[in-house]
Chains A and B, each alone.
Chain A
Amino acid sequence: MSAAIELVNVSKIYRRYTGRQFATLKSALLGRSLLRDLRPNEAFVALKDVSFSVAKGSTLGVIGRNGSGKSTALKLVAGITKPSAGTIKVTGRISALIELGAGFHPEISGRENVFINGIMLGLSKREVEQRFDDIVDFAELREFIDAPVKTYSSGMYMRLGFAVAIHVDPDVLLVDEVLAVGDESFTHKCLDKFGELHRRGKTVLIVTHSLGLVERLCDDAVWLDAGEKQLEGDPHRVIDAYLTSVEEAEQQRMAAATSKALASAAANPPTGDMFQATEGRWGSREIEITHVEFVGADGQPTFVFEAGDFVAIRLRVRAAQSVADFVFGVSVFNADGVCCFGTNTDIENMVSERLEGDAQIEFQMQRLSLVTGTYKLDVAVHRRDGAPYDYHRQLYTFRMTSRTRDVGIFKPEHRWMFSQNVHFK
């Protein structure tokens, strides 16, 4: 199959004119440095030697974290900026949904803006006329179409922009993260429109952070990171690889957050009512918690878990002298501060007898089924009457991820059952 979009060894270097911040025409002329000043003095590589192609009639999703060069790639394909090196070939009429309603003039009516925007995007006046009713109906703005655009809400503005752009009927459609333009029903309409374009053999290039969208709409995916192509191919495979790398980055972030929290807890001992404190560490230290870590099924410390994974909390403690009265406790809080679960050895009827020297405690959860989010942990060792030996309040952070976007707190093991006359695609 022939390629509708083809990038070969494309690089884009953005020039930064830092030294020119205060340079003026006068100084440029006096110093005879007009041409020299127009030359950059610092370069930022936004894309480095990237090649990929999109077959005619297929949909490609570009994913990657912020600043990975996704939008730059899209602008290059659209022809808005030129590559510093390499070649880009696009066959057919392009329409780019980069910023919706970018050409709208606030003072004139929606109707006039539809015409001008349509012409800007490459339609003739007659073509806009033919599509005008479809555009207005799609945007759901029939009553307001003769009002000046400055009176529109931002949602109306974006809907009109989207409606015009999608009705340009391009051979190649470029989309940059613009599906969040309306309520649920409008989003569905947009997705249906994409489906329709796909069926009609149009080529679509989507840049997005919504991995679900890529899985749903795209035939292929490309993962960019720091301007370089990491992987390309089947969306599931690419997304998995991307998520793995994101998890690694998150691990590092959480490790950093934890050590920072510990350091600040050590530097600022809590004052006043300690149980009001949102985070910190306090206690008599007759028994000291020296180390806390999260452990996965493989026994290795980690910070990121998949919902339903085995999770263990491993504590190392030290008692300088023999202690007979002690209780170990843990509790897990979500980002809203809601306690998802908490327990201790006393609640579970374990009666302490003796602890001396270094010891290790592991609290194992066979399947921790919490919904996606960041969680904080309290760990404590205290007397049965509650007097703390060492209380660590919300100093440790871990993250649950999930492929499904369920809501709430807890994710029970579940399955759906349907009678035979209920059908899904």
Chain B
Amino acid sequence: MLANLGTLLRYRGLIQSLVARELKARYRGSVLGFAWSFVNPLLLLSIYSFVFTTIMRSDKPETRPYAVFMFCGLLPWTWFSASLTDAASSLISGGNLIKKVLFPAEVLPIVSVLANMVHFALGLLVLAAFMIGFHHYPSLAALPWFPVVVLVQLIFTLGLALALSALSVHFRDIRDLLANALMLWFFATPIIYPYFLPTVERFLWLFRLNPFYHLAVSYQEILFFDRFGHARSLLLLGVLSIAVFLAGYWLFDRLRDSFAEVV
């Protein structure tokens, strides 16, 4: 398993070009082309802002400007959920490669995660534009923590993506199940509502069991609220993420030999 992890480094050129291909192929033939990477999060944001500030009026004074607040949690969530959705079908849609080319299969779910990470990075530019527009800037003191949160999320997502992609080869229903599980997970995480809501605080122990709770809170504290008091939980999650990654990779490795036969 560790040897396999080592060879993975040898394939970084391949991963790089596959990520580039993924991004290029995605918008090939559409009128807006690559601009969709910016337009997509913008549209998503306007829908949510409209629903929660105009129709439901659920924004609190602390979360104003609401668009910026929600975007801080929504962007990483989109990265996370799209990565898992893509990864779950990556081995099946890349079946030709696994069956006909000598090819390290783990490259496929990893590419799914990394391609969505590029979209996440582009979304950050949109977020920056919003911050400038609303004159709401993150504090420089907390900002160095930002790459740490991203790294923790990356490792955590990779672990889940590897496990899900390997399992969905054997259980195709994972892809359908996943869409609904992600929907539930989204609403169970303080993304569209702030983490200091009374309801959240009453069931705090339950929320704290949700790994993405810590990520969302970290993002919001670093980017929106000028304080970062979540460092301990985040580092703990970092350790857990490494464990998730190793477990996911172990599972993938165990099922690896069945891919070429079952896909």
* Residues of chain A whose beta carbon lies under 8 Å from any beta carbon of chain B: 14-15, 17, 24-26, 28, 38, 75, 78-82, 94, 96, 98-99, 102-103, 105, 107-108, 112, 115-116, 119-121, 124-125, 148
Contact = CB atoms under 8 A, between A and B. Distances in A.
Contact of A103 (B28, B96, B173, B257): B96
B28 A38 contact: no
Given A14-B261, A80-B102, A124-B13, A103 B97 contact: yes
B76 to A, nearest CB: 27
A98 B100 contact: yes
Nearest to B168: A25
Contact of A108 (B28, B98, B170): B28
B13 A119 contact: yes
B21 interface: yes
A119 B17 contact: yes
B25 interface: yes
A386 B23 CA distance: 78
Interface residues of B, number: 29
Nearest to B103: A120
B102 A99 contact: no
Shortest 7 CB-CB distances between A and B: which pairs? A102-B100, A99-B100, A25-B171, A107-B25, A107-B28, A98-B100, A81-B260
A79 B102 contact: yes
A17 B177 CA distance: 22
B257 to A, nearest CB: 5
A40 to B, nearest CB: 10
Interface string B233-263: 0000000000000000000000101101110
Given A81-B261, A107-B24, 20 more contacts: A14-B261, A25-B173, A25-B174, A25-B177, A38-B255, A80-B100, A96-B100, A98-B101, A99-B96, A99-B99, A102-B100, A107-B25, A108-B21, A112-B21, A112-B24, A116-B17, A119-B17, A120-B14, A124-B13, A125-B17
A81 B257 contact: yes
Nearest to B15: A119
Overall SS of chain B's interface? helix
B24 A108 contact: yes
Contact of A105 (B21, B171, B177): B21
Interface of B: 13-14, 17-18, 21, 24-25, 28-29, 96-103, 167, 170-171, 173-174, 177, 255, 257-258, 260-262
A82 B28 contact: no
A84 B102 CA distance: 18
Contact of B101 (A25, A80, A112, A115): A80
B39 to A, nearest CB: 19
Contact of A38 (B29, B170, B174): B170
A28 B99 CA distance: 26
Contacts of B14: 116, 119-120
A14 B262 CA distance: 10
A112 B23 CA distance: 13
17 contacts: A15-B261, A25-B167, A75-B260, A79-B102, A80-B101, A81-B260, A98-B101, A103-B97, A103-B103, A105-B21, A107-B24, A107-B25, A107-B29, A112-B21, A119-B17, A120-B97, A125-B13
A124 B260 CA distance: 25
A343 B29 CA distance: 68
B260 A80 contact: yes
B96 to A, nearest CB: 5
A96 B102 contact: yes
The residue among A25, A82, A96, A121 with the most chain B CB atoms within 10 A of its own CB is A25
Nearest to B174: A25
Contacts of B260: 75, 80-81
Contacts of A14: 261
B17 A115 contact: yes
A82 B98 CA distance: 13
B173 A26 contact: yes
Given A24-B173, A116-B21, A148-B28, A17 B102 contact: no
A124 B13 CA distance: 7
Nearest to B256: A82
B25 A78 contact: no
B100 A116 contact: no
